[in-house]
Amino acid sequence: MFWQQLVNGVTMGGIYALVTLGLTMVYGVLRILHISHAGVFALGAYIGVVALRLSPNLVVVTLLAMLVCGLVGVLMQRWLYRPLLGSSRIVPLIASIGMFTLMEDLFRLAAGPYVLPLPVRVPFGLDEVTTSVVTGNQLVVLSSAVILLVLAWFVINHTRLGLAWKATEQDFETAAAFGVNVDRAVAMNFLLGSAIAGAAGVLVGFYYNSVYPTMGSVPAYKAMAIAVLGGLGNVWGTVIAALLIGIIEAFLVISPVGLFLPRDSIAFVALILVLLLRPYGLFGRR
Amino acid sequence: MRSSGRWVPLVAVILLVGLLGTTALGAEPIKVGLHAPLTGFAAADGLSVRQSVELAVKQVNDAGGINGRPIQLVVYDDRADAKEAVAVAYKLIEQDKVVAVVGGSYSAPMRAVAPIYQQAGIPMVAGFAVHPDITRAGDFVFRCGMLGPIEGAAAGEVAGNVLKAKTACQMTMDNDFGRALAEGFRKRAGELGFKILWESLYPLGEQDFTPYITKLKQLNPDVVFTSGYYNEAAQFCKQAKDLGLKAQILGEEGFDSPKFIEIAGKASEGVIIVTNLNRDDTRPVAKAFIEDYRRLYKMEPDMVGASNFDALLVIADALRRAGSTDPRAIRDAIAATKDLQGATGVIRRFNKLGESTKPIQVQIVKDGRFRYFAEVGDPAIITPPEK
pLDDT at B6 (0 to 100) = 60
Residue type, position A68, single letter? V
What is the CB neighbour count within 10 angstroms for residue A55? 14
Alpha-helical runs (H) found in B127-254:
148-157, 176-192, 210-219, 230-243
In A, minimum Cα distance to B211 occurs at A250
Q: Which of B43, B205, B211 shows the shortest C-beta gap to A250?
A: B211
How near does any CA of chain A get to the CA of B49, in Å? 13
User: Quick check: A5 contacting B, CB < 8 Å?
Assistant: yes
With an 8 Å Cβ cutoff, are A251 and B217 in contact? no
Which has the closest alpha carbon to B242: B217, B279, B277, B275?
B217
Q: Which sign does the torsion angle of CA B306, B310, B312, B313 carry?
A: positive
Q: Is B339 left (phi over 0), alpha (psi -120 to 50) or beta?
A: left
Rounded distance between C-alpha atoms, residue A55 and residue A45, angstroms: 15
The backbone torsions φ and ψ at residue B270, rounded to the nearest 5 degrees and listed phi first, read 85, -5
Q: Give B351: exposed, middle or buried? Use CB within 10 Å, 0-12, 13-18, 19+.
A: middle
Per residue in A27-71, pLDDT (tens digit) is 888 888 899 999 999 999 999 999 999 999 999 999 999 999 999
| DSSP run (H or E) holding A196 | helix A182-207
User: Quick check: B235 contacting A, CB < 8 Å?
Assistant: yes
Which has the closest alpha carbon to B303: B172, B54, B311?
B311
User: Quick check: B338 contacting A, CB < 8 Å?
Assistant: no
With an 8 Å Cβ cutoff, are A115 and B203 in contact? no
Helix, strand, coil % (nearest 5) of chain B? Answer: 50, 20, 30
pLDDT at B25 (0 to 100) = 43
Q: Which of A5, A108, A214 shows the shortest C-beta gap to B211?
A: A5
Taking contacts as CB-CB distances below 8 angstroms, the residues of chain A near B44 are: 113-115
User: Quick check: B263 contacting A, CB < 8 Å?
Assistant: yes
Confidence of residue A133 (pLDDT cuts 50, 70, 90): confident
Q: Which of B47, B218, B263 shows the shortest C-beta gap to A113?
A: B47
Tell me the ipTM for this assembly.
0.84
In A, minimum Cα distance to B201 occurs at A259
Rounded distance between C-alpha atoms, residue B218 and residue A5, angstroms: 11
Q: Which of B44, B46, B210 shows the shortest C-beta gap to A8?
A: B210
Rounded distance between C-alpha atoms, residue B291 and residue B65, angstroms: 21
Mutating which of B210, B224, B246 best tests the A interface, going by the most A Cβ atoms within 10 A?
A: B210
Select the more confidently predicted residue: A228 or B317: B317
Give the mean pLDDT of chain A. Answer: 89
CA B103 to chain centre: 8
With an 8 Å Cβ cutoff, are B200 and A264 in contact? no
Q: Which of B38, B44, B201 shows the shortest C-beta gap to A114?
A: B44
pLDDT at B23 (0 to 100) = 43
Q: Which sign does the torsion angle of CA A118, A119, A123, A124 carry?
A: positive
Rounded distance between C-alpha atoms, residue B185 and residue B171, angstroms: 11
Taking contacts as CB-CB distances below 8 angstroms, the residues of chain B near A213 are: 43
Q: Which of B39, B214, B263 shows the shortest C-beta gap to A115?
A: B263
Taking CA atoms, B275 is separated from B250, B279, B373, in Å, by: 11, 11, 11
Taking contacts as CB-CB distances below 8 angstroms, the residues of chain B near A251 are: 211
Taking CA atoms, A174 is separated from A88, A156, A164, A180, in Å, by: 21, 20, 11, 9
User: Quick check: B79 contacting A, CB < 8 Å?
Assistant: no
pLDDT at B7 (0 to 100) = 59
What is the CB neighbour count within 10 angstroms for residue B112? 20
User: Quick check: A79 contacting B, CB < 8 Å?
Assistant: no
With an 8 Å Cβ cutoff, are B43 and A251 in contact? no
With an 8 Å Cβ cutoff, are A263 and B206 in contact? yes
Q: Which residues contact B257 (CB under 8 A, 6 or more apart)?
A: B44, B45, B48, B229, B230, B302, B304
| Strand ranges across the sheet with B223-226 | B195-202, B167-173, B223-226, B248-251, B272-275, B360-366, B369-376
Q: Consecutive sets of 10 residues in chain B, 387 residues long: mean pLDDT of each? A: 53 52 63 93 89 97 93 95 96 97 94 97 94 93 92 96 96 90 95 95 89 94 95 94 94 92 93 94 94 94 95 97 95 95 92 92 95 93 86
Q: Sort strands B141-143 and B167-173 into parallel, antiparallel or unpaired.
A: unpaired
Alpha-helical runs (H) found in chain B:
2-5, 8-26, 43-62, 82-90, 107-120, 148-157, 176-192, 210-219, 230-243, 258-264, 284-297, 303-322, 327-335, 379-382
Rounded distance between C-alpha atoms, residue B34 and residue B127, angstroms: 10
Q: Sort strands B272-275 and B360-366 into parallel, antiparallel or unpaired.
A: antiparallel
pLDDT at A1 (0 to 100) = 79
pLDDT at A264 (0 to 100) = 82
In A, minimum Cα distance to B212 occurs at A254
| Strand ranges across the sheet with B71-77 | B71-77, B30-36, B100-103, B124-126, B141-143
| DSSP run (H or E) holding A37 | helix A37-51
In A, minimum Cα distance to B236 occurs at A208
| 3 state SS for A212-244 | CHHHHHHHHHHHHHHHHHCCCCCHHHHHHHHHH
CA B349 to chain centre: 16
User: Quick check: A131 contacting B, CB < 8 Å?
Assistant: no
Query: Which 8-state DSSP code applies to residue B270?
Result: T
With an 8 Å Cβ cutoff, are A115 and B238 in contact? no
Residue type, position B377, single letter? G
Given a contact cutoff of 8 angstroms between Cβ atoms, the answer to whether B171 and B197 are in contact is: no
pLDDT at residue A114 tops 90: no
User: Quick check: A6 contacting B, CB < 8 Å?
Assistant: no
In B, minimum Cα distance to A204 occurs at B207
With an 8 Å Cβ cutoff, are B201 and A5 in contact? no
Given a contact cutoff of 8 angstroms between Cβ atoms, the answer to whether B235 and B207 are in contact is: yes
Taking contacts as CB-CB distances below 8 angstroms, the residues of chain A near B206 are: 263
What is the CB neighbour count within 10 angstroms for residue A188? 22
pLDDT at residue A227 tops 60: yes
Q: Which of B200, B201, B214 shows the shortest C-beta gap to A5?
A: B214
Given a contact cutoff of 8 angstroms between Cβ atoms, the answer to whether A13 and A244 are in contact is: yes
Q: Which sign does the torsion angle of CA B304, B308, B313, B318 carry?
A: positive
Rounded distance between C-alpha atoms, residue A19 and residue A25, angstroms: 11
Per residue in B60-87, pLDDT (tens digit) is 999 999 989 999 999 999 999 999 999 9
Q: Which sign does the torsion angle of CA B241, B245, B250, B251 carry?
A: negative
